[in-house]
Structure 1
Amino acid sequence: MQKRIRIAALVLAAVASVLGCSAQADQTTDKIKTALQSRLGIDSGDIKGITKAPVAGLYEVNLGSQIVYSDANGDYVLTGDLIDAKAHRNLTESRLAEINKVDFSKLPLENAVKVVKGDGKRKIAVFSDPNCPYCHQLESTLKSVDNVTVYTFLYPVLSPDSTQKAKQIWCSSDRAKAWESWMVDRKAPTAAGTCNTAAIDSNLQLGAKMNVTGTPTVILADGTRLPGAVSADRLESALSAAR
């Protein structure tokens, strides 16, 4: 009986210790959040989460599209990449990729312009602005990538003309042709752009929710993001790794 009591006491002590550490962690992260909001003018909603960093005394502050590091009091903030020198690994980049990973199966593909190349077995989604020069560059690169289905979410964030062109492309009888003609051959879309363009508004809301802050943003089938106009070689390598 005494042995059972001792075991129960040890279990309770362990639970209390864990809860105590958890409460302490919550107090620290809450303290950091309050301090950063006050001192740096950061809105509460902009801070997505705060966790301990791999370096003692540092805390990782997730701002959605960026990670910064703070001490336990929010007195000092570090910006830039945290590098694991032993493993030659960019820890900040890895964490951002993990944090911003997307569930590809939940993307509303019906709101995207669909282009099938070859057998179309491989899949990517791209958030793209019609007037973004890097988006034009990516489209030229995609001409050399075969056996892939590209779902382009029209994401007009640069100018009112971007919005107008996005609407014209979406309202075209052949959206894929209109998109490629403009992005690769610079042939402007001719549709009036007066059809139901609610999909474009939904894309803007989706992109904001997913922290898509630049175009183009490529999303692989495994949810990994590739920001910017990636090269054909890098895209091919990423597509192979995402299988």
Structure 2
Amino acid sequence: MIKFLSAVLICVGLICSTSVQAQAEQQIKVDIQKKLGTTVKVKSVHPAPISGLYEVLVGNDIFYTDASGKYLFQGEIIELATGKNITEQRQNDLNRIKWSDLNQSNAFKTVRGNGSRQLAIFSDPNCGYCKRLEKSLQQLDNITIYTYLIPILSPDSAQKAKQIWCSADPSKTYIDWMVNGVTPNGKSDCTTPLDKNLAFAKTYGITGTPTLFFIDGSRFPGAVQITDIEKKFGSLK
């Protein structure tokens, strides 16, 4: 009976502790939101790996605060014993998606070699960094690339994206434009997935192009170096 009562008291204590912690996190969130105003949204507040600090997620950015919510600062937490960048790891986890969330019917597919390695790219046809990336990607073999067009840079981006998607061979038309500078000039009045791609980008915080995703859901923003892409593929084996 004594052991049973002790177990019950421990459980009650844990429940109470969890409740108090949740209330503290909610209060910090409310206080910081008031101070930041309505221009940005505080998504969540959770204890940071360091005692006394809390992680504050504002949009897709990580900040830290103290228990009083008086200070807000941005920086990286490095674990000295291992050299691990805890903030970077946490940011990568937050940016991760489920590969299955990507609707491949909303992308056109480019296959080279046996196509065994898979990569998804969100691209704007007028994006200079996207063009640079596409030229680099020509070096990769045994790859399947799913390209999701998101025209976010200009009205002309939407026109070109429609012409690419509506062409007889979207992958070829896209590569001809991005790599060889051959302007797409076909029809643009077919049904496209552009609105769906833009909605997906908004939901998952894809605010720039190019943005790459690998099958483990990890996200690489920007014109990533081929060496880094190959390194990532190597880690997925």
Q: C-alpha distance in 1, partners of 2:7/2:38?
A: 41
Flag as ranges the 4+ runs of structure 1 deviating above 3 A.
none
1:90 matched to 2:88: no
Matched, 1:53 2:48: yes
In structure 1, what is the Cα distance between the partners aligned to 2:8 and 2:50? 31
**Structure 2 match to 1:39:** 35
Distance 1:64 1:39 in 2: 15
Residue equivalent to 2:17: 21
Aligned letter for 1:187?
V
CA contact (8 A) 1:36 1:42 kept: no
Q: Could you report, residue by residue, the CA deviation over 1:196-216 in whole angstroms, capped at 9, with x for unpaired residues?
A: 12x110111111111112211
CA distance in 2, matches of 1:39, 1:157: 31
Query: How far off its partner does 1:217 sit?
Result: 1.0
Residue 118 of structure 1, CA deviation: 0.9
List alignment gaps of at least 5 residues for structure 2.
none
Shift of 1:63: 3.0
Please give the alpha-carbon distance, in whole angstroms, between the structure 2 residues aligned to 1:165 and 1:7.
Answer: 72
| Cα deviation, residue 183, structure 1 | 0.8
Which residue of structure 1 aligns with residue 6 of structure 2?
Answer: 10
The range that moved more, 137-146 or 208-217, is 208-217
Name the counterpart of 1:207: 201
Deviations 1:46-84 (A, max 9, x none): 333221111111111123421111112221101122222
TM-score (norm 2): 0.95
Correspondence for 1:240:
234
| Cα distance in 2 for residues equivalent to 1:208 and 1:71 | 31
1:164-179 to 2 correspondences below 5 Å: 164-179=159-174
SS at match of 2:63: strand
Q: Contact 1:50/1:62 (CA < 8 Å) preserved in 2?
A: yes
Shift of 1:194: 1.1
- Number of residue pairs the alignment of both structures matches: 237
Q: CA deviation at 1:181?
A: 0.8
Partners of 1:136 and 1:217 in 2: how far apart?
13
State how far apart, in whole Å, the 1-side matches of 2:81 and 2:17 are: 29
Q: Which residue of 2 aligns with 1:227?
A: 221
Aligned partner of 2:212 in structure 1 is 218
- Structure 1 contact 168–192 (Cα < 8 Å) conserved: yes
Measure the CA separation in 1 of the matches of 2:96 and 2:219: 7
Residue 71 of structure 1 corresponds to which residue in structure 2? 66
**Paired-residue identity, %:** 40
Question: Aligned equivalents of 2:119 and 2:169: distance in 1?
Answer: 20
Matched with 2:117 is: 122
Q: Distance in 1 between matches of 2:20 and 2:51?
A: 16
Q: Distance in 2 between matches of 1:79 and 1:43?
A: 18
Q: CA RMSD, aligned part only?
A: 1.5
Q: Give the distance between the partners of 2:35 and 2:125, measured in 1 at CA.
A: 38
Structure 1 runs not aligned, ≥5 long:
none
Aligned to 1:105: 100
Q: TM-score, length-normalised on structure 1?
A: 0.93
